[in-house]
Homo-oligomer: A and B are copies of this chain.
Amino acid sequence: MKSGQKSHPRPRAAAGFTLAELALAVGGRVVGDERLRLTGVRALSDAGPSDLSFLADERRLGEARASRAGALLVRSEAVLPGRPAVVVGSPMLALAVWLDRFAPKDRPRAGIAAGARVHRTARLGAGVSVAAGATVEAGVRVGARSMIGPGAYVGPEAEIGADCVLHANAVVQWRCRVGSRCVLHPGAVVGSDGFGYVWDGTRHRKVPQVGIVRLEDDVEVGANSTIDRATLGETLVGRGTKIDNLVQVGHNVVIGEDALVCGQAGIAGSTRIGNRVTLAGQAGIADHVTIGDGAIATAQSGIGTGSTVAAGAVVSGMPAAPHREFLRRAAWLARLPELARRLEEVERRLAEAGRGGSAWSSESPKS
């Protein structure tokens, strides 16, 4: 691979920023010259003398020492003595705050672009933009300043809150409801039919899925993720929950607030996920499961039909078990060939003892 270092795009600040400005914005304290002026924000390995970088994880201290960054966001000035820095409680949070201010905020011009189709009965709030190739159907409401991206589709009677972004080719099906400040990444589908069939003796007969999906405020749905509408009622994703790419959420599922659902995780029908739950990558949650607040299902874990995970629990493996238990089992599983050998040895000694030629014959009780 060719080095792409020179060509990394970077957030631009025409005139740059000083450490004093940075510290003020992120609530930090300057170490070194507060008039030091930087122009970019880059990762440790890419940063040069005019860039800000950050040390969020002290396991990367070596990289931080080697970095050519002009200044760093750090948790304590002691970790990098003598280097220009801004000391904050959480360098990652400070980074988020600063990038949010600093990052490009290009947004399309408000209005309906040529090549967009908006039904005459749709009601768009102030400052809404609808890109070319997008379709907004009859009876739709879109809140102020929301952006409907190119190729995106909003079905009949759907509602989109204020300040939402529907990226390219995102889909919201009929009657579904999206709160305010939600983001649907490219290709995300909200409101596809739930997977509901009933065998009628000769074929799988479809159970019409006439419920909806409701996303509360501040929800993100990752690229090409899919959230099925309820059979009746609603599939619900609570306020502040973030869903990564290629995630499947089945019909009638309820996810609480501030949950994190990582890439390729799947949640089958009618399962209830509590607040602040984390489902790690490729975790699979079967139907009619209940997961308590704050629980964690680790990567690739599998939680079986109808089971319950207690609040705060951490579960792993398939079938899922408490994480410590999983680790113990995994450790013993790795030693299973050894255990089998030891068992054979025990059997051999008993057999020898049984034949009178005891394995411990020299000190044998028969003497």
Binding site for B on A (CB under 8 A): 1-2, 4, 7-11, 41-43, 45-46, 90, 92-93, 95-97, 99-100, 103-104, 106, 113-115, 117, 131-135, 149-151, 153, 155-157, 167-169, 171, 173-175, 177, 183, 185-187, 189, 192-193, 195, 197-198, 200, 203-208, 210-212, 214, 216, 218, 220, 222-226, 228, 230-234, 236, 238-240, 242, 244-246, 248, 250, 252, 254, 256-258, 260, 262-264, 266, 268, 281-282, 284, 286, 299-300, 302, 304, 317-319, 321, 325, 328-330, 332-337, 339-340, 342-343, 346-347, 349-350, 353-356, 358-360, 363-366
- Taking chain A's interface residues, is the majority helix, strand, or loop, or is none over half, making it mixed? loop
The answer to whether A11 and B210 touch (CB under 8 A), given A151-B133, A245-B192, A328-B337, is yes
Residues of B within 8 A of A248 (CB): 244-246, 263-264, 281
Q: Is the CB of B325 within 8 A of A319?
A: no
A95 in contact with B207 given A133-B117, A192-B223 (CB within 8 Å):
yes
> What residues of B have a CB within 8 angstroms of the CB of A225 in the complex?
224
If A96-B206, A204-B258 touch, whether A46 touches B233 (CB-CB below 8 Å) is yes
A339 to chain B, nearest CB (A): 6
- Bound Cα distance A256, B1 (Å): 7
